[in-house]
Amino acid sequence: FRPHSRPVSHLEWNRSGSSLVSASYDGSVRQLDLETQTFSQIFATYDDSEIFEGKLGFGLHQGSRYWIQYACLDHSNSADEKCLFLSSSAGTVMHVDLR
């Protein structure tokens, strides 16, 4: 598998062990479904270009493309794990609702 274009900064299994979340310095977070052996993008940073409008992460690309250092699923608050926390190399923390 080669789901990212830059180094992976963090990996985390979901509670059931059926999928693996990967965060990368390419600005994306992807999820591997072990059953289908496919990756899906669950978050990425985008600039404010019209073509990205409506995408989760729209307008967050502020010149530092490789900013995501850590991603964490909230296992305690949601049975379906739709709560994601991200941290950046700039010292910021973000909560992302994946519903």
Q: Is the residue at 2 inside a domain?
A: no
pLDDT 10s digits, 34-91: 999 999 888 776 556 665 566 555 555 555 554 677 788 877 765 667 788 888 777 7
- The whole-model pTM stands at 0.71
Cα(92)–Cα(57) distance, rounded to whole angstroms? Answer: 14
64-74: b or e for each residue (b if 16 or more CB lie within 10 Å)? Answer: eebbbbebebe
Number of domains in the chain: 1
Q: Is the residue at 1 inside a domain?
A: no
Q: Is the residue at 50 inside a domain?
A: yes
pLDDT 10s digits, 4-22: 888 898 999 988 899 999 9
Structure tokens at 95: 């909560």
